[in-house]
Amino acid sequence: MVRPFQFSRLPKIFFKNGAIAELPSMIERFGKRIVLVTGKYSFLQSGKSEKLLSGFQVKGIIYRIISIPGEPSPEIIDNTVRNLQGERIDVIIGIGGGSVLDAGKAISAMMNRPESVTEFLEGVGLREHPGTKVPYIAIPTTSGTGSEATKNAVISEIGKNGFKKSLRHDNFVPDIALVDPELTLPCPPDITAASGMDCFTQLTEAYLSGNSSEYSDALALTGLREIKTSLLRCYTTGDDIVARSGMSFAALTSGICLANAGLGAVHGFASSIGGMFNIPHGLICGTLMASANEINVRELRRTKVNPVALKKYANLGELFLDEKGRTDDYLIDGFIQFLYKLTDELNLPGFKRYGIEEKDLELICKNTDIKNNPVKLDAEDLAKILLKRL
Ligand SMILES: [Fe+2]
């Protein structure tokens, strides 16, 4: 029998090599006045930008550019919104990595609102956002967070009492996700590896989540097939457009899956560690992927509380190992070994390099929420996951 489920709205998705050329025409249905949100190493410095900006001029589109230097903080969002106050803006366009897309999403949601974004952040503020926003177009230039398809924007305040929390509403799913794999070609290997592992983690955690559905499972497996064929290829051969296209698809799909199924322990850590230390989100995910799944499997086998999740781990083993006729236990163990091997192949560093020490683990574990993980983990289990990757 089909399990009961809900599935959120999707953006209008345009997925095509070279799709960026169609942006000026897409904008016209919203109006003529736009804000372009970009990153520090901006798309606007690339060769493709001149063509795009002259396309805006031809169409009479008036644009303003806002550059977001890193992961968006409440201060950056509040200041940007204040600076735009009183201006008529027909559509906001985020073009960049996950941080830029989240920043654009948050700015579109906070336009015309007097409050600080902090007041609406989950677990930080006390107010419910009504879901009002300026239309938003998300254009990823990395393959990772899938923010182009999600209903949340992650906002960070990094420090001892820092946080990494979401501004979330069904209406915040972008109106358009323009996915042009060619835009990811210049992405350097370290960012390709980290963002790719973020995407891999999101697909895996959504697939294993107790909140998954027939729809999200089918999509997650489709995305994971692309991870298998494309992730390492993108890392070693950045100009392989077939592999880049596979990862763009996987990232978009991971966003759809996480918005509908939730995430597990690795993303719990990404939130707690990411609030306390300045470490890129994808790197936290990639570094912890193998050890977190190893402990999940150990606890699933010991407690026997969730045979469905163990079966799913065996399915992942079958997918990534390409071996037929093996037992479930063989496939599960093989999947965990595959993850450790991939961690080495992608040169993902341990946490010591970022200043995390053993004495920090207790507080990290205390701040880690793993609500959609396939099995309960106690503080000792969580510490073990981290210790393996210090
Ligand atoms: Fe993520």
- Kindly give the distance from the C-alpha atom of residue 145 to the centroid of ligand 1, in angstroms, as a whole number: 5
Q: What are phi and psi of 236, to 5 degrees?
A: -85, -30
In angstroms, the CA 334 to CA 186 distance is 33
Average pLDDT over residues 261-272: 96
- Kindly give the distance from the C-alpha atom of residue 209 to the centroid of ligand 1, in angstroms, as a whole number: 14
At 42 the pLDDT is: 67
- Kindly give the distance from the C-alpha atom of residue 191 to the centroid of ligand 1, in angstroms, as a whole number: 13
- Kindly give the distance from the C-alpha atom of residue 282 to the centroid of ligand 1, in angstroms, as a whole number: 6
Confidence of residue 256 (pLDDT cuts 50, 70, 90): very high
- Kindly give the distance from the C-alpha atom of residue 227 to the centroid of ligand 1, in angstroms, as a whole number: 15
Q: Which tops the pLDDT comparison, 43 or 137?
A: 137
- Kindly give the distance from the C-alpha atom of residue 270 to the centroid of ligand 1, in angstroms, as a whole number: 8
- Kindly give the distance from the C-alpha atom of residue 166 to the centroid of ligand 1, in angstroms, as a whole number: 12
In angstroms, the CA 371 to CA 202 distance is 14
Topology given in CATH for the domain delimited by 189-387: Dehydroquinate synthase-like, alpha domain (1.20.1090)
Average pLDDT over residues 79-84: 96
Does 123 score more than 80 pLDDT?
yes
At 32 the pLDDT is: 97
Confidence of residue 46 (pLDDT cuts 50, 70, 90): confident
pLDDT in tens, 272-289: 999 999 999 999 999 999
- Kindly give the distance from the C-alpha atom of residue 201 to the centroid of ligand 1, in angstroms, as a whole number: 7
At 41 the pLDDT is: 67
Average pLDDT over residues 341-354: 95
- Kindly give the distance from the C-alpha atom of residue 329 to the centroid of ligand 1, in angstroms, as a whole number: 28
- Kindly give the distance from the C-alpha atom of residue 251 to the centroid of ligand 1, in angstroms, as a whole number: 10
Average pLDDT over residues 320-340: 96
pTM assigned to the model: 0.96
pLDDT in tens, 165-195: 999 999 999 999 999 999 999 999 999 999 9
- Kindly give the distance from the C-alpha atom of residue 199 to the centroid of ligand 1, in angstroms, as a whole number: 6
- Kindly give the distance from the C-alpha atom of residue 154 to the centroid of ligand 1, in angstroms, as a whole number: 10
- Kindly give the distance from the C-alpha atom of residue 268 to the centroid of ligand 1, in angstroms, as a whole number: 10
Sign of CA pseudo-dihedral 284, 285, 288, 292:
positive
In angstroms, the CA 102 to CA 167 distance is 9
- Kindly give the distance from the C-alpha atom of residue 356 to the centroid of ligand 1, in angstroms, as a whole number: 20
- Kindly give the distance from the C-alpha atom of residue 33 to the centroid of ligand 1, in angstroms, as a whole number: 32
- Kindly give the distance from the C-alpha atom of residue 198 to the centroid of ligand 1, in angstroms, as a whole number: 5
At 40 the pLDDT is: 77
CA torsion, points 97, 103, 104, 106, in degrees to nearest 10?
Answer: 140
- Kindly give the distance from the C-alpha atom of residue 237 to the centroid of ligand 1, in angstroms, as a whole number: 23
- Kindly give the distance from the C-alpha atom of residue 267 to the centroid of ligand 1, in angstroms, as a whole number: 6
- Kindly give the distance from the C-alpha atom of residue 324 to the centroid of ligand 1, in angstroms, as a whole number: 31
Does 216 score more than 80 pLDDT?
yes
* CATH no. for 12-184: 3.40.50.1970
- Kindly give the distance from the C-alpha atom of residue 110 to the centroid of ligand 1, in angstroms, as a whole number: 23
Average pLDDT over residues 54-62: 95
- Kindly give the distance from the C-alpha atom of residue 271 to the centroid of ligand 1, in angstroms, as a whole number: 9
Question: Distance between the two ends of the chain, CA-based, in angstroms?
Answer: 44
- Kindly give the distance from the C-alpha atom of residue 78 to the centroid of ligand 1, in angstroms, as a whole number: 24
- Kindly give the distance from the C-alpha atom of residue 53 to the centroid of ligand 1, in angstroms, as a whole number: 31
At 43 the pLDDT is: 73
12-184 and 189-387, same CATH topology: no
- Kindly give the distance from the C-alpha atom of residue 144 to the centroid of ligand 1, in angstroms, as a whole number: 7
Confidence of residue 45 (pLDDT cuts 50, 70, 90): confident
* Cα angle value 109/112/114 (rounded, 5°): 100
What is the residue extent of each domain of the chain? Answer: 12-184, 189-387
Q: Which tops the pLDDT comparison, 379 or 42?
A: 379
- Kindly give the distance from the C-alpha atom of residue 143 to the centroid of ligand 1, in angstroms, as a whole number: 11
At 129 the pLDDT is: 97
Average pLDDT over residues 145-151: 97
In angstroms, the CA 197 to CA 283 distance is 8
- The backbone region for 131, taken as left when phi is positive above 0, alpha when psi lies in -120 to 50, beta otherwise, is left
With a pLDDT cut of 70, the percent of the chain lying above it is 99
Average pLDDT over residues 47-76: 91
Residue 198: closest CA among 121, 280, 260 = 280
